[in-house]
Structure 1
């Protein structure tokens, strides 16, 4: 173990600068903000070299680390960090995903991209850091796994391993086994991320199948006046929120999609000789438009002409009349 920093041995006015220097030597460039820069800034940083990867532990007063796009452009080794929060609660966000990390939980940080991480009061986190080249996984796989770590059956095993890694590393300090431990930990992390990413792919595939089923169901029931998003969600045992999320992933609004499908069906009926005897209002009502004026406005917006003009355009004269 290498002691990178212990602010107990420093004057209070020197601690922030020392903290920044130690943090930059152990990890990638970022902005450091102390919760109370004029107050009791204190920290201890420990570092273990485990062959190619390393282990970094930081414990101290409240901080906020911000890695900006500018920091990314400055350059740094292409690395990631799998961290376990060991004291307090941390707040982590990256690529639009926010996570409250409680004591004894894992978080995955892609160090090649911007992120923010913070805790208030006294806290501690320790991170296993490894180069992408040594891990052997693509950035895409890592990012797919980041939000689904808990779905891996290896989560608890890796969590326990990382939690106990400092004490084991201390016992192996100065031996060849330290590098072997780093290689074994790398294999565990690779297995965790691969299984989490595969679960994500399976989840996406299942979501696509569910979307296809819902689309088929809705089209079969377009003429039902009580076909609502709530009914569609209930029929497929999902929440209304998840239903909207499925359509949003396909860049669709569920309500607008339903209206578009109903307008298309109404247009078919208006153009069909088989429905010549039906009034426009009756056809509109058949497809859920009980207000004929509303239907006419919607139809014109979709087709560029009124329902009557559409019918006249598509229906040939009755030669028997």
Structure 2
């Protein structure tokens, strides 16, 4: 979703419009362009992934500051995990200062003052996660901020966020976007706990990490005919036994995860304007079901009505 673009604006209005757009897109803050107002260029987009969202900002040089005064105006119980898509950034919060290069992740507690500067111009990508969805105490998040690079999960999560950003338009519009967002939040949680080195949360997160990775993988490959336990285990460098054990430890099963995501994707498609006009078998196939009868039985078992009944109900809304 495009939130802001300076292109159609008069040059004299661009700097002020950018300030307003950044405050509305994230949280109350002070935005200071580092170029002449007439030279300011910016484009801001927001892509929803369930309860999380990806904020994509491409702009000429600027500095953003969030002060105690801004906090009093806007509590913003949000945690942000960001990286530079292009250019170089400078981040400072609670005594931690970080030069942000292309391969680095930055963890920002939006409930504390901070400063960020895009010194060269370029682009940043930020995953915004509600704190209650992350489910971690404030002290764990803040302890992790200066130690992200020390975690063995850093590069894994960085690569995952890069994929979310590169294909954001397609992935955020997919029926599996909410499930993909939930799996991404689990990965972020794992990274934060790993970086913080907090033994109170470590064991549970270690068990969940593989499950979160697999759930995200499933969301991206729902229509893949080779989405089998063996293929997924190979893709993640684990044995079938490890895969099944990880899901059992999370109180789930791999097969039910795949079926559940495919059913939810089909239900969303059937209720969409385009999906209400499509044959049931076509929707089933598009969501990874090879057999329409099998799909119909699974759908009724999950939602208490047939796919056709759901489609008709959606059409009558």
Normalising by the residue count of structure 1, what TM-score does the alignment of the two structures yield?
0.60
Query: Could you tell me whether the CA contact under 8 Å between 1:85 and 1:126 is conserved in 2?
Result: yes
* SS of equivalent to 2:173: coil
C-alpha distance in structure 2 between counterparts of 1:132 and 1:84, whole Å:
19
Q: Which runs of 5+ in 1 are unaligned?
A: 202-321
Q: 1:173/1:99 Cα in 2 relative to 1: closer, same or farther (>3 Å)?
A: closer
1:113 equivalent in structure 2: 112
Tell me how far 1:104 sits from its aligned partner.
Answer: 2.2
Residues 200, 147 of structure 1: alpha-carbon distance in 2 compared, 3 angstrom cutoff? farther
Aligned to 1:3: 2
Deviation at 1:172? 2.7
- Specify the alignment match of 2:52 in structure 1: 53
Distance 1:195 1:121 in 2: 31
SS of structure 1 residue aligned to 2:120: coil
Return closer, same or farther for 1:150/1:200 CA change in 2, 3 Å cut-off. Answer: farther
- Aligned pairs (5 A) from 1:277-288: none
Once residues 172 and 158 of structure 1 are traced to their aligned partners in structure 2, the CA distance between those partners, rounded to angstroms, is 17
Unaligned runs of 5+ in 2: 201-317
The answer (yes or no) to whether the contact 1:101–1:107 under 8 Å persists in 2 is: yes
Partner of 2:136: 137
Matches of 2:68 and 2:116, distance apart in 1: 15
**CA RMSD of superposed structures (Å):** 1.6
CA contact (8 A) 1:151 1:199 kept: no
8 Å contact 2:47–2:54 — kept in the other structure? yes
| Bigger Cα displacement from structure 2, 192-201 vs 64-73 | 192-201
Q: Which residue of 2 aligns with 1:84?
A: 83
Secondary structure at the counterpart of residue 161 of structure 1: helix
What does residue 62 of structure 2 align with?
Answer: 63
SS in 2 for 1:147: helix
Q: How many corresponding residue pairs?
A: 200
TM-score, normalising length from structure 2? Answer: 0.61
Q: For residues 34-68 of structure 1, give each alpha carbon's deviation from its aligned partner in whole angstroms, at most 9, with x where no partner exists.
A: 10233410011111011111000111110000101
User: SS where residue 98 of structure 2 aligns?
Assistant: strand
- Report what 1:26 is aligned to: 25
1:149 aligns with 2:139: no
Per mean C-alpha deviation after superposition, the further-off stretch among 155-164 and 192-201 is 192-201
Is the 8 Å Cα contact of residues 71 and 113 (structure 2) preserved in structure 1?
A: yes
**Separation (CA, whole Å) in 1 of partners of 2:76 and 2:197:** 26
2: CA distance between counterparts of 1:38 and 1:168?
A: 32
Partner of 2:225: none
Aligned partner of 1:126 in structure 2 is 125
The corresponding residue for 2:186 is 187
- Between structure 1 and structure 2, the one with the greater Rg is 1
For residues 173 and 54 of structure 2, the distance between their equivalents in structure 1, rounded to whole angstroms, comes to 15
Residues 144-223 of structure 1 correspond to what in structure 2 (within 5 A)?
144-198=143-197
1:266 — aligned with what? none
Contact 1:145 1:200 in 2 (8 A): no
